[in-house]
């Protein structure tokens, strides 16, 4: 949901059948009704998000996947603009041409909404080069550059020439591009690979010359990674490690590169920055201990959020958007047992108005509470996690239970409303989400080499979660299962390999099943070097692959996978199902032809939930 620059209208997305969605706009005038401004049917185009570029016009991101016989599944994005009433639809991405040298997959993104201008933006756009024999229309320009683009007339002016090594541009929110990120590559010119390192260059305020800002290694998470530019302070905000954990810094862009530590937490990483207003003004940072926290270095915003916190106690507050003058704000308040309520806040009038309830169908449904816990790993290390008991249950004894490891592995769970754990809790299951070593957000010592290279530690922590549930008397040992999505699906399968008797049923959604296959899926793509470095080489490729150890799995397995999954190819699940059956295992595979990794379809997700619930009951003998 987004607020118009004048604070008088909102825009939001709502789902429709399949993967489709609708962009609605709504005037905040009394008696106004929502209008459908744009519809995507999900075949393949899907609406990923929209933002206002004028009081009567929005820019929207479309996403879809195409299948190529050589390169497989190719994710494609495009950016369009449309009026709030649904008229004057325009394509903002560069148009495809039969003369192009390559397929344009990346449709670009808006990096500056230019609040002082009416519908013009700064936009990163992709150039693939063109040949037109006998004309002067052809172009050798390749890579991504920045254009100033009028979203109504499509008149554009080049601001930054396209560069083949460019991966990111950062504006100051006032129309000036101040930072560019250039990727380092390895390999021959015909098959260059990103090595995961980005060189960031910056400009001083009075020059167009580029100077070295930093070098950031995304594999090791080393160096300064810029996030935004503050033109008033003339600094770049970004993250950089201190004492093995990500911390927030401001780096001067006046030529001195003087650093200021803004915030560092002694136990966890800083996850990102909090921004507000149409210019994306950075006002603080966010991090997660047991719950999401924020540290505001803008005193006005700190006081404002504290005041709203007193009005909405026991809620997590998120400032989603604001008017240009920051007087009208769109606030989302959520909790573990509340999907959220949208509020409009008028700062001058000091009026907080309920606007819309998220997931209104759950208004009268009693939802479960989520509790932060720790449990001991095999080596005695205390592992954090989130425990969800069935609604109304305060003391759990001998209940059916699920260990639910998260995806990633460079990710983590967060305290709050989670539709997956809430569903199983509503069906009487205890759910434990372990923050196993290899999870992101706890610093280098916890992240280890990541959950693939350090799979023995990560899977050990997942298994320890199951043991803890049984030892505490929370779970019936005969009714303990494991379920995961993506890396979580991998963890579910590999847990059954390492300790076949602990979990009585395994559900894996879009799982990695073979580490070598996971690398090879990216062989023809420019991030192959990056992926293969993250997964690594050595004996762990076989030892840590469920597919290579399928004969050790002694409990029933249910797999879900979609054919358009670019993150983890469906062949991983198909091969796993075949191998399980070949060694006498019990395995069922459910597939979809037109969905991707997220299964972003209400009917598909409902089917997955119903079928997995029945499968777990059957595996538990219920």
Give pLDDT tens digits for 131-167: 655 545 556 788 999 999 999 999 999 999 999 999 9
Per-residue model confidence as pLDDT tens digits over 508-547:
999 999 999 999 999 888 889 999 999 999 999 999 999 9
pLDDT at position 279 is: 82
In the chain, pLDDT over 90 holds for what percent of residues?
A: 88
Q: State the average pLDDT for the chain.
A: 94
Map residue 261 onto helix, strand or coil: strand
> Can you point out the beta strands (E) in 456-586?
475-485, 506-509, 557-562
| Per-residue pLDDT reduced to its tens digit, 292-351 | 999 999 999 999 999 999 999 999 999 999 999 999 999 999 999 999 999 999 999 999
pLDDT at residue 26 greater than cutoff 70: yes
Helix (H) or strand (E) holding 526: none
The C-alpha atoms of residue 403 and residue 383 are separated, in whole angstroms, by 14
Domain that holds residue 599: 370-619
Q: Please name which of 459, 464, 405, 463 lies closest in space to residue 435, comparing C-alpha atoms.
A: 405
pLDDT of res. 116: 86
pLDDT in tens, 421-452: 999 999 999 999 999 999 999 999 999 989 99
Of 176, 246, 178, 166, the residue nearest 211 (C-alpha)? 178
Assess if residue 331 is contained within a domain: no
Residue 154 forms part of a structural domain: yes
Among 250-254, 395-399, 584-588, name the one with the lowest average pLDDT. Answer: 395-399
Q: If 0-12 CB within 10 Å is exposed, 13-18 middle and 19+ buried, where does residue 520 land? A: middle
Q: What is the mean pLDDT of residues 382-401?
A: 96
- Report the 10 Å Cβ neighbour count for 157: 10
Residue 188, pLDDT > 80, answer no
Displacement of CA 318 from its chain's centroid (Å): 17
Evaluate whether residue 150 is within a structural domain: yes
> Residue 485 is part of a domain; what is its CATH number?
3.40.50.1820
Task: Look at residue 570 in the predicted model and tell me its pLDDT.
Answer: 97
Q: Name the residue among 183, 195, 216 with its Cα closest to residue 528.
A: 195
Can you tell me the mean pLDDT for 394-398? 91
How far is residue 37's CA from residue 60's CA, in Å, rounded to a whole number? Answer: 11
Instruction: Please give the average per-residue pLDDT across 608-615, as a whole number.
Output: 98
| pTM of full prediction above 0.85 | yes
| Count of residues making up the chain | 622
Q: How far is CA 288 from the centre of its chain?
A: 16
What is the token pair recorded at 26? 């709504």
- By C-alpha distance, which of 581, 413, 555 is closest to 498? 555
Q: Which of 148, 164, 180 is the last residue of a domain?
A: 164
Banded pLDDT at 10 (limits 50, 70, 90): very high
The position carrying tokens 């879900």 is 560
The predicted structure's pLDDT at residue 189 = 56
Residue 306, φ and ψ in degrees, nearest 5:
-65, -40
β pairing state of 281-288 and 292-296? antiparallel
What is the Cα–Cα distance from 503 to 513, expressed in whole angstroms? 18
Please say if the pLDDT value at position 278 is more than 90. no
Task: Give the H/E segment covering residue 395.
Answer: none
Q: Is residue 335 part of a domain?
A: no
Residue that terminates a domain, selected from 147, 164, 181: 164
| Vertex 447: Cα angle to 466 and 337 (nearest 5) | 55
Indicate the pairing of strand 351-357 with strand 46-54: unpaired
Q: Could you give the number of structural domains in the chain?
A: 2
Model confidence at 186: pLDDT above 60: yes
Q: What is the mean pLDDT of residues 165-184?
A: 96
CA contacts within 13 A on the Cβ side of 89: 11
Cα angle: 534, vertex 286, 52; to 5 degrees? 95
Tokens of 224: 């300064």
pLDDT, residue 77, reads 95
47 belongs to a structural domain: yes
pLDDT for the residue 199: 98
Give, for 288, the enclosing helix (H) or strand (E): strand 281-288
pLDDT tens across 541-568, in order?
Answer: 999 999 999 999 999 999 999 999 999 9
- In sequence order, the 6+-apart residues with CB closer than 8 A to the CB of 224 are 200, 213, 214, 216, 238, 239, 240, 249, 251
Quick one: pLDDT at residue 263?
97
- Run of H or E including 592: strand 587-592
- Identify the domain boundary among 111, 140, 164: 164
**Residues 6 or more apart in contact with residue 569 via CB below 8 angstroms:** 72, 73, 517, 521
To the nearest 10°, report the CA torsion of 370, 375, 378, 381: 110
CA distance 315 to 342: 12
In a domain, 289, yes or no: no
- Residue appearing with tokens 């949901």: 1
Phi, psi at residue 146, to the nearest 5°?
Answer: -120, 130
237 within some domain = no
The neighbouring-strand residues paired with 66 are 74
The residue with tokens 């990674």 is: 225
Q: Do the domain assignments include residue 505? A: yes
- Side by side, the strands of the sheet bearing 72-83 are 46-54, 57-68, 72-83, 90-91
């Amino acid at each position: 949901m987004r607020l118009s620059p004048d604070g008088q209208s909102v825009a939001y997305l709502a789902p429709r059948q399949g993967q489709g969605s609708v962009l609605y706009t709504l005037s905040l005038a009394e008696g106004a009704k929502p209008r459908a401004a744009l519809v995507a049917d999900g075949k393949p185009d899907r609406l990923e998000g929209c933002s206002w570029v004028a009081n009567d016009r929005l820019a929207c991101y479309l996403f879809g996947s195409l299948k190529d016989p050589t390169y497989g599944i190719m994710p494609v994005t495009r950016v369009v603009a449309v009026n709030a009433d649904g008229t004057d639809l325009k394509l903002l991405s560069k148009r495809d041409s039969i003369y192009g040298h390559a397929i344009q997959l990346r449709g670009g993104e808006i990096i500056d909404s230019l609040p002082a201008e009416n519908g013009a933006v700064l936009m990163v756009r992709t150039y693939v080069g063109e040949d037109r024999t006998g004309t002067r229309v052809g172009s050798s320009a390749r890579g991504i550059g920045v254009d100033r683009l009028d979203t109504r007339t499509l008149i554009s002016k080049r601001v930054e020439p396209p560069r083949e090594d460019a991966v990111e541009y950062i504006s100051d929110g006032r129309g000036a591009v101040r930072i560019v990120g250039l990727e380092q590559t390895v390999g021959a010119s015909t098959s260059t690979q990103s090595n995961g390192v980005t060189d960031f260059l910056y400009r001083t305020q009075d020059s167009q010359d580029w100077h070295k800002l930093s070098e950031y290694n995304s594999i090791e998470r080393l160096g300064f990674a810029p996030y935004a530019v503050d033109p008033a302070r003339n600094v770049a905000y970004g993250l950089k490690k201190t004492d093995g954990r990500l911390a927030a810094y401001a780096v001067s862009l006046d030529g001195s590169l003087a650093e200021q530590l803004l915030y560092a937490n002694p136990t966890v990483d800083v996850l990102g920055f909090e921004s507000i207003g149409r210019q994306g003004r950075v006002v603080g940072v966010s991090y997660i201990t047991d719950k999401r926290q924020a540290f505001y270095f803008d005193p006005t915003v700190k006081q404002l959020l504290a005041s709203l916190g007193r009005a909405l106690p026991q809620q997590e507050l998120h400032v989603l958007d604001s008017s240009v003058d920051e007087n009208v704000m769109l606030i989302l308040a959520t909790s573990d047992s509340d999907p959220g309520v949208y509020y409009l806040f008028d700062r001058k009038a000091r009026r907080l108005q309920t606007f819309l309830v998220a997931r209104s169908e759950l208004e009268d449904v009693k939802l479960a509470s989520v509790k932060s816990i720790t449990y001991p790993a095999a080596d005695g290390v205390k592992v954090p996690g989130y425990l969800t008991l069935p609604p109304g249950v305060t003391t759990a004894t001998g209940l059916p239970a699920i260990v639910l490891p998260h995806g990633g592995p460079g990710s983590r769970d967060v305290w709050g409303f989670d539709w997956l754990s809430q569903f199983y809790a509503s069906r009487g299951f205890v759910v434990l989400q372990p923050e196993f070593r290899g999870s992101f957000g706890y610093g280098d010592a916890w992240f280890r080499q990541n959950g693939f290279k350090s799979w023995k530690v990560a899977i050990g922590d997942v298994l320890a979660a199951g043991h803890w549930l049984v030892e505490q008397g929370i779970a019936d040992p005969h009714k303990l299962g494991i379920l995961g999505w993506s890396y979580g699906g991998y963890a579910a399968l590999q847990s059954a390999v390492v300790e076949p008797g602990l979990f009585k049923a395994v559900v894996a959604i879009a799982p990695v099943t073979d580490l070598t296959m996971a690398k090879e899926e990216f062989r023809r793509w420019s991030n192959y070097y990056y992926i293969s470095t993250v997964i690594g080489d050595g004996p762990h490729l076989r030892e840590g692959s469920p597919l290579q150890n399928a004969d050790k799995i002694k409990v029933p397995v249910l797999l879900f996978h979609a054919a358009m999954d670019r993150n983890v190819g469906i062949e991983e699940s198909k091969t796993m199902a075949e191998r399980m059956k070949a060694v006498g295992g019990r395995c069922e595979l459910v597939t979809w032809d037109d969905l991707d990794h997220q299964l972003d379809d209400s009917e598909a997700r409902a089917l997955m939930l119903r079928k997995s619930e029945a499968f777990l009951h059957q595996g538990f003998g219920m």
